Amino acid sequence: MSTSASPSTQHGTGPAATRRPGPVLVVSDVDSTFIRDEVIELFARHAGVEEQVAKVTAAAMRGELDFTQSLHARVKALAGLPVEVIHDVRREVRLTEGAAEFVAGLAAGGHTLALVSGGFEEVVTPLAARMGIGHVVANRFEVADGRFTGRVAGRVVDRRVKAATLVELAQRLGIPVENTVAVGDGANDLDMLSVAGTGIAFCAKPVLREAADIVIDRPDLRLVLDALAIDRP
């Protein structure tokens, strides 16, 4: 059963209490979790196809569409965009409330934060670098002659890749699975929450809420620290 953590209820302490002493690995989704936006929709706005892309994104996050197929369809709609638009989108991205304190609180406690995104490293990597986050996995746009080709370069970061990344990173850092935490909002995060020691649904779709150990309904990342009994900075 999930534990609700909303403005009107107390945070659950069960999952936090079961972890071993020592550092924690928190793996967070990015779009609509660490940031308030869906990055591909910001690109779609510049391409004049925002409404079309947003409908596909919403269906994929509800688990109604295969994520990989939906991503390819959405990226195809961006074909022809000049790469310069990347700089515009980076400026448009809005951090979720409490993001800076979330990062600082984890760092102060000796914990590790990784961003694992079905979005795009062209935006996520510079954002992570600016905030001192050293672990990032995300998709990449294929570019030719200074324009988006409408294809994804390399593998797609889908729900299986997200889960595998959490497991591999925990092993590399020597952190037991009991001390891993996954934070996400949509169906693409289901496998990640399943393999983590603690799964947190953050302002999430129903399909993810049902699978989570902790549910946070207010878009404030400081509530994740509270739910994990990690001190705020």
pLDDT in tens, 170-219: 999 999 999 999 999 999 999 999 999 999 999 999 999 999 999 999 99
What angle in degrees, to the nearest 10, is found between the helix axes of 50-61 and 39-47? 160
What pLDDT, on the 0 to 100 scale, is given for residue 100?
Answer: 98
Which pLDDT score, from 0 to 100, does residue 61 have? 82
Q: Is the pLDDT assigned to residue 120 strictly greater than 90?
A: yes
**Cα(142)–Cα(152) distance, integer angstroms:** 5
Mean pLDDT of the chain: 91
- Nearest to residue 71, comparing CAs of 137, 144, 153? 153
Torsion angle, alpha carbons of 213, 129, 133, 39, to 10: 10
Say whether pLDDT at 93 is over 90: yes
For the chain, give the longest Cα–Cα distance. 53
Question: Can you tell me the distance from the alpha carbon of 169 to that of 44, in angstroms, rounded to the nearest whole number?
Answer: 32
CB contact set of 64 (below 8 Å; sequence gap of 6+): none
- Quick check: helix, strand or coil at residue 21? coil
Task: Compute the distance between CA of residue 75 and CA of residue 147 in angstroms, rounded to an integer.
Answer: 12
How far apart (Å, rounded) are the C-alpha atoms in residues 64 and 44? 21
Active site residues: 29, 31
Query: What are 12-65's pLDDT values in tens digits?
Result: 445 655 666 789 999 999 999 999 999 999 999 999 998 989 888 888 888 888
- 231 pLDDT band, cuts 50/70/90, is very high
**CB contact at 8 A, 127 and 35:** yes
pLDDT tops 90 at residue 8: no
Q: Rounded to an integer, what distance in angstroms lies between the CA atom of residue 214 and that of residue 230?
A: 15
Q: pTM for the full model?
A: 0.90
Helix (H, G, I), strand (E, B) or coil at 170: helix
